[in-house]
């Protein structure tokens, strides 16, 4: 989970987020090289007192400063397009979770398993336990097994929302009258936190998401318990 001192991306909890972290580091390295090169050239030009007053044009230099940025853009665009296709790909999911955004809470449906469904509201700070995170804890958590390909269908009942789980590399817009989908795979068990990432009204900041990743046996026991 992100804290106030964490300026980087969250630690990856899924293969998609690992790819996003790799692309982030790849882009930062390219930007760092460009910044150092341009800074060196600017300092060299400012400190250099030698000028050529007969120089009108230099086609070689113009070609170099046109070709090099093009090559750099290719090195950035190709990994970016690859990740975009990976994020949109939904292949052979083992289970499906349906998410509906409301003003201002989330509702979830496990339509593959006995139609388990529930609403998830933020727990007020006055009711938090000592171990709970303020403004992030909910009364009903999502429970999903790890190492399982999961498809999530996202829609909204009233206005625009956005279901976002940064540590999984997932952010899906919830549009009324439309169903968007994506898939993810969780690498290990634990608790993962997210929030609504689309300004949806006065209580937009109080729509947290809590996902509990567990073993397949614990997930089945949870389904049996909640289907009663």
Express each pLDDT in 71-106 by its tens digit. 999 999 998 998 888 888 777 888 889 999 999 899
Give mean pLDDT, residues 196-207.
89
Of 219, 208, 220, which is closest to residue 143 (Cα–Cα)? 219
Residue of higher predicted confidence among 91 and 194? 194
Residue 224 has pLDDT above 70, yes or no: yes
CA distance 211 to 104: 18
Answer CATH for 95-227 from 3.40.50.300, 3.30.70.250, 2.60.40.420, 3.30.1330.10:
2.60.40.420
The string of pLDDT tens digits covering residues 135-149 is 888 988 999 999 889
Non-local (6+) Cβ contacts of 215 within 8 A are: 145, 146, 189
* Number of Cα atoms under 13 Å in the Cβ half of residue 110: 20
Ranges for all domains in the chain classified under CATH 2.60.40.420: 95-227
Per-residue model confidence (pLDDT) at position 36: 95
pTM to 2 decimal places: 0.80
Per-residue model confidence (pLDDT) at position 46: 86
What mean pLDDT, rounded, does the chain reach?
87
């Amino acid at each position: 989970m992100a804290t106030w001192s964490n300026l980087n991306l969250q630690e990856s909890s899924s293969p998609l987020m690992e790819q996003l972290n790799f692309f982030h580091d790849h882009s930062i390295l390219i930007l760092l090289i460009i910044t150092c090169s341009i800074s060196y050239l600017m300092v060299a030009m400012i400190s250099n007192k030698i000028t050529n007053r007969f120089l009108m044009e230099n086609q070689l230099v113009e070609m170099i400063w046109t070709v090099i940025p093009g090559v750099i853009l290719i090195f950035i665009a190709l990994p970016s397009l690859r990740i975009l296709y990976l994020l949109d790909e939904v292949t052979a999911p083992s289970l499906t979770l349906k998410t509906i955004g409301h003003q201002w809470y989330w509702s979830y449906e496990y339509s593959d398993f006995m139609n388990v469904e529930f609403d998830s509201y933020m727990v007020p700070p006055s009711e938090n336990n000592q171990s709970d995170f303020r403004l992030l804890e909910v009364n009903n958590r999502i429970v999903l097994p790890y190492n399982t390909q999961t498809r999530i269908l996202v829609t909204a009942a009233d206005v625009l929302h956005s279901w976002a789980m940064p540590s999984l590399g997932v952010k899906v817009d919830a549009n009324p009258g439309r169903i968007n989908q994506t898939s993810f795979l969780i690498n290990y068990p634990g608790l993962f936190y997210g929030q609504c990432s689309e300004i949806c009204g006065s209580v937009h900041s109080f729509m947290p998401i809590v996902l509990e990743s567990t073993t397949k046996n614990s997930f089945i026991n949870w389904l049996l318990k909640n289907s009663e």
